[in-house]
Amino acid sequence: MRRIILMSLLMAALAATPCTDCWSQTMKLLCSDPLAKVLQNAPIDAPPCPELLIDGARGETVSAQVVLLPGDKPDTVSAKASSLIHEDGESAIPSSTVRLQWVRYMEITANTPAVPKDELVGVAPVSIPDPFWEDAERSVTPGSPQPLWIEIDVLADAHPGLYHGEVTVSGSSGKCSLPISMLIRSFALPKDRHQRVIQWWDFPGTGFQDLKPGTDGYWKHLRESCAFLRRHRQTDVRVDWGLIERRPDGQGWDATNFEKFAETALNAGMYAVQFTPMGGHTKSQLEPDSRTQIGDDNFGRLAAAEQVVQERGWKGRVFTSLADEPFTYNEETYRALLVRIREIAPSIGVIEAVETDDIGDLDIYVPKLSHLNLWWPHYEELKRRGEDVWFYTCCHPQGRYPNRFLDQPLVLARELHWISYLYDLDGYLHWGLNWFTANEDPYSEKGATPWGLPPGDGQVAYPGRNGFIGSLRLSAMRDGLQDFEYLWTLEDRLRQIKIRLGEDASWLDPRQRPTELCRRVVQSFYDHTRDPKVLLDTRAAIADEIEGLDARPLLVVQTLPPEGTVTPAGPIHINIRGLTTPGATVTVNGRVVIPQNLSAGGAFRDMVFITKEAPEIVFTAELDGITRTTTRTFEVVE
């Protein structure tokens, strides 16, 4: 009971307005949340709070954010986190698992062109927070807020419960400390990742152009870069056909560097490697009079890659594409080339970002988010047939669609992976991990808008002295992928209950409840909340329900229609099925479920009429003095 009370108090505090409780004569810290982009010129008015509150599962990288308000003199500051000690005084989260990163600002003079002003973080010209500074020390300016990003790697076997620690900021003019309370949930994120992700990279990338394939420095950079991407839950990486070179004698192709690249990436935890398009980033090779423009050289490289894949047993771990975004008028040529690729390399899969619906038998179909919205019946049919369907975003879609542009709110980048769960999609692709304008400062607007693309479209990772540096958007996307695993975990736990209880739970749809919760955040490819609090509260509700499945008495409820359904008045009849621990007493809106409707195994059924004035149904299960409660709410319209 004490643990339940602690959790309730923490959840209530997490839902509160961002706050401050770190004061000195020279500086103060403000609590924020991991979906806030703090603008330098925006007023900050936050009520006091006693501590920074964090909530996460075992095996998760948990994000948090605080904001330093400097004193009245320029200063150089550094931040330090203590270990977090469990309330039992024995377990601890060591400080070495806590990363503190100062947030850097990007100046832009033009916004993403087709995004409405009310969908932007700020109207240009404006400074937008995104990349992280590499150094532990940071120069701060009086009156200018400086965000500090916090990430905590929670071990999969961490002891659940409430932990306490603090973060301290020190400078020449003083220091201040803000207490941290962190709730670690009893469940762990699954080891296997259930959402494939690739963001095409420029490798070895800006700042590392001198690293040449085959050198020790190149392979070291590859290992460390793959580890960086894995920490951010990317599963696939891109490999260039240029790594397969013609042999010096001109007889055949040498795939040594490709084999080493793939081996290094897979050993670093990547699920698959994907070749760049065989025809490059242009569709000209698909025009009717250009059937051979892909060229014999690339077909020779393909055959060499196929031999390596067969010898190493990498089928299903290596993919290619033919051309970037083929359209309707490319279909005939594309299908003919696809047949040839299948003949030469049957072990290499084909993934394509497609702009049409009849492209041939791919291994992975990747339509644009807006095309999924407009052409969903076609891709829904592919899903029913068991095909892998991902989606992609790039410089489009814009408007009110979620995307990850620099000047959009962080909640939109995080919601991309809620969309994946809602539609049971298999993965996500974006073309731009770390692309910058050549010979320009990558931390400038000109450097970060290659080819005149919208701000941030080309990158969510930046170059540092020793490798990639992350960003707010990359962390938000990782957090969205972890949200996906929360939803998947709830579904999996319900599936296990269905298997365990057999006939009593034969009616249970394991996806219905997580989908109901998911719809609180995203309702379609296009409709979604803009309120970070809605997402964070929903995430906490998912965690509560996962933990509730291990509690006694059990209380699982499924309604027909699902919660949140828009229901016209007249009257409205809601069918109810549920599961509880045998012997428990179940009530529905205060009325006890009669014995005839409650089986010996704990399955129950009922029905309720709801109205516009009373759209909620409250369920309770009571056993041995312990009561569990859950609510379902509907939208009733006249």
Enumerate the H helices of 192-255 as residue ranges.
Answer: 216-231
On the question of pLDDT at 7 being above 70, the answer is no
Burial classification of residue 133, based on how many CB atoms lie within 10 Å of its CB (0-12 exposed, 13-18 middle, 19 or more buried): middle
Fold of 489-637: Immunoglobulin-like (2.60.40)
* CA proximity to 481, closest of 199, 194, 236, 274: 194
pLDDT tens, residue by residue, 9-31: 344 333 333 333 344 457 889 99
**3-class DSSP string for 347-386:** CCEEEEEECCCCCCCCCEEEEEHHHHHHHHHHHHHHHHCC
Task: Please answer whether residues 33 and 18 qualify as being in contact, where contact means their C-beta atoms are separated by less than 8 angstroms.
Answer: yes
Residue 283 pLDDT class (50, 70, 90 cuts): low
Q: Are the beta carbons of 603 and 578 closer than 8 angstroms?
A: yes
48 or 589, higher pLDDT: 589
pLDDT for 169 beyond 90: yes
253 close to 301: Cβ distance less than 8 angstroms: yes
pLDDT in tens, 99-147: 999 999 999 999 999 999 999 999 999 999 999 999 999 999 998 999 9
Q: What is the mean pLDDT of residues 552-567?
A: 96
Residue boundaries of the structural domains of the chain: 2-188, 196-473, 489-637
pLDDT surpassing 60 at residue 528:
yes
pLDDT at residue number 329: 83
DSSP codes, 8-46:
HHHHHHHTSPP-EEEE-SS-EEEE--TT----TTS----
Instruction: Please give the average per-residue pLDDT across 521-543, as a whole number.
Output: 97
| CATH number given to 196-473 | 3.20.20
Residue 110 CA from chain centroid, whole number: 27
Which residue, 248, 262, 363, 345, is CA-closest to 301? 345
Per residue in 353-365, pLDDT tens?
999 988 999 999 9
pTM for the whole thing? 0.94
In a 3-state reduction of DSSP, which class is residue 306? helix
Predicted local distance difference test score (pLDDT) of residue 330? 84
Query: pLDDT at position 47, please?
Result: 56
Answer CATH for 2-188 from 2.60.40.10, 1.10.220.70, 1.20.1510.10, 1.20.120.1200: 2.60.40.10
What integer pLDDT is reported at residue 23 of this predicted model?
40
pLDDT at 638: 82
Same fold, 2-188 and 489-637: yes
Tell whether the model's pLDDT for residue 406 goes beyond 60.
yes
pLDDT at 262 over 60: yes
CA pseudo-torsion sign 300, 301, 306, 308 = positive
- Is residue 464's pLDDT more than 50? yes
526: DSSP letter: S
Confidence (pLDDT) at 281: 58
